[in-house]
């Protein structure tokens, strides 16, 4: 097969992935904004690199009761948010102790625990969001560290 045809297929697939990824982000933003207009939103996530990833959005009132819940779970860019009415009416302070949570899959339980943990930290004023480091930035950091180490060794030998 011609290399140009393979290249064109790869470029088209990449553009399609970008487009569908943007639609997924738009779906997240619309659900988040809709919930945010009603009150606080607790976001629980259980990222997945190989396995399925999960994002749980919980609309919480001023007393801590969950008024709205939607979850996106899947490995592909076709995953969308779906209502999760079983969370409605629960107190987020006691979410991980709820008997209904034991009926959910492991990823949902982890996302719910993450949402509760972050909500409680924010409520107490102790939450600090740690920005994830991109793999490219991480490689850059590693190269900078290696360069500094090599330069330090070279300057010690030349002295």
Angle at 126 between CA 121 and CA 131, to 5 degrees: 85
> pLDDT tens digits, residue range 71-95?
998 877 778 899 999 999 999 999 9
pLDDT tens per residue, range 50-70:
777 889 999 999 898 999 999
Q: Which residues contact 96 (CB under 8 A, 6 or more apart)?
A: 109, 112, 113, 116
Share of the chain above pLDDT 70, in %: 85
pLDDT per position as a tens digit, 129-154: 666 655 666 676 677 777 777 877 77
Query: Dihedral through CA 18, CA 23, CA 118, CA 39, nearest 10?
Result: 160
Euclidean distance between CA atoms 90 and 106, whole angstroms? 19
Other beta carbons less than 10 A from residue 59's beta carbon: 23
Q: What is the pLDDT of residue 74?
A: 81
More confident residue, 127 or 148: 148
**What is the pTM for the complete model shown?**
0.71
Q: Which CATH number fits domain 3-129: 2.10.260, 1.10.287, 3.90.930, 3.90.1010?
A: 3.90.1010
- Distance between CA 1 and CA 81 in Å, rounded? 40
Provide the 8-state DSSP code for 75: S
């Amino acid at each position: 097969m011609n290399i140009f045809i393979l290249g064109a297929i790869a470029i088209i697939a990449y553009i399609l992935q970008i487009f569908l990824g943007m639609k997924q982000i738009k779906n997240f933003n619309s659900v988040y904004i809709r919930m945010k207009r009603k009150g606080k939103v607790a976001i629980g996530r259980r990222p997945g690199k190989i396995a399925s990833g999960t994002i749980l959005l919980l609309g919480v009132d001023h007393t801590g009761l969950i008024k709205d819940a939607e979850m996106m779970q899947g490995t592909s860019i076709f995953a969308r948010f779906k209502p999760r009415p079983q969370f409605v009416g629960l107190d987020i302070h006691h979410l991980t102790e709820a008997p209904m949570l034991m009926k959910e899959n492991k990823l949902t339980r982890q996302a719910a625990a993450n949402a509760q943990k972050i909500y409680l930290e924010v409520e107490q004023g102790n939450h600090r969001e740690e920005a994830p480091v991109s793999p490219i930035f991480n490689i850059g950091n590693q190269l900078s560290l290696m360069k500094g180490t090599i330069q330090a060794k070279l300057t010690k030998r030349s002295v």
